[in-house]
Amino acid sequence: MKKTLSILLVISLLLSFAACAAKQDGETTTKAPDKVSEKIDINVFTISGPTGIGMVNMMALSADEAKENYNFTVAATPQEVVSKISNGEADIAAVPTNLASTLYKKTEGKIKILAVNTLGVLNVLNFKGDEIKSLADLKGRTIYTTGKGSNPEYIINYLLKANDIDPEKDVKIEYKQEGSELVPVWNTDETAVIIAPQPVATSIKLNYEGSEIVIDLNDEWEKVSSDSRLMMGCVIARSDFIEKNPEAVEAFLADYKASVDAVCADVEKTAQLCEEKGIVPKAPLAKAAIPNCNICFITGEEMKTNLTGYLNVLFQADPTSVGGQMPDDGFWYVK
């Protein structure tokens, strides 16, 4: 009897092991393999200066860290970026916001704006002239700046008028061709006011002991405009690229936001990368300038509402500055 029970027990155990083995074999043969999403190549162009600062930490990502395979190019001029977007060589690019609007018109809607990456970068500097506490204090002064017939002129005129100053009668404005031409202005006119973009403004301040940046035009813009912000730099993408690669675009934006966050988190590292990547000539200059460059990451309805107001100011000053007409809803990447 005992022998019979032992035999039955052994048989039962063998059947149990066989059942487990069969179950495991079944799991192995029926389990679907993990789906691995392949990274795609994305050609990204930017220009030197503040518009490119938010991208440098992203440019330093290793292949393993980056969500996609990014191929970065720092272009010499915005016009170079325009040609690369137009011929399809660039998938995504960082450009001035009004250029994005112009390009939208030029390409008949073949680009979209993904995010605003830079607010205003224009600063008012004073050296040995009378104290300046507000734009109203500029009345009667001589102002040196750049950008005749472009954004800086329209921005400055808009803000002066909002402060009851006639740009043609109440101040004398001298325009230079290049930002570098503003650096030696105080060698001949110490009481002049300089309105310069970053990082030129910081370079001027570092060259003249006792000089100071007295006004950030972002602050002045917000005082007089409730429905817009001074948004000067952005990131755009080709519309067909977005349609074909929606997940990759979202991955890019996630990496880009992290890169912008890293600008504030580690200014010194970002400054060094700015020099290495050709965004700002020297790391010490970048380190001093970054806090005044207003690097940001603004998307969606907030971007659309505030940038529309800014572009409208430019449009009222000169319609050609935004492509001849205000962009329609197709311009905005709003999910």
Name the strand (E) or helix (H) holding 260: helix 246-265
Residue 202 · residue 126 · CB < 8 Å: no
- The whole-number average pLDDT for the span 186-201 is 97
**Residue 115 shares a structural domain with residue 157:** no
**Residue 217 shares a structural domain with residue 68:** no
Assess whether pLDDT exceeds 90 at residue 256. yes
Q: Please check whether residue 24 lies inside any domain of the structure.
A: no
CA distance 149 to 314: 11
**Residue 283 shares a structural domain with residue 218:** no
**Residue 131 shares a structural domain with residue 105:** no
- Work out whether strand 69-75 and strand 41-47 pair parallel, antiparallel, or are unpaired: parallel
Split into its structural domains, the chain has a count of: 2
107: nearest Cα among 90, 128, 120: 90
CA distance 237 to 245: 11
Q: Please check whether residue 185 lies inside any domain of the structure.
A: yes
- The whole-number average pLDDT for the span 307-328 is 96
Domain of 182 in residue numbering reads as 122-224
**Residue 100 shares a structural domain with residue 247:** yes
Q: Please check whether residue 165 lies inside any domain of the structure.
A: yes
Calculate the CA 43 to chain-centre distance.
16
255: nearest Cα among 300, 297, 295: 297
Q: Please check whether residue 215 lies inside any domain of the structure.
A: yes
Query: Of 224, 249, 267, which marks where a domain is finished?
Result: 224
pTM of the predicted protein model: 0.86
15-72 confidence digits (pLDDT tens): 333 333 333 344 444 444 444 568 999 999 999 999 999 999 999 999 999 999 999 9
pLDDT at 122: 97
CATH (domain of 49): 3.40.190.10
Q: Is the peptide bond before 199 cis (omega within 30 degrees of 0)?
A: yes
- The whole-number average pLDDT for the span 264-283 is 96
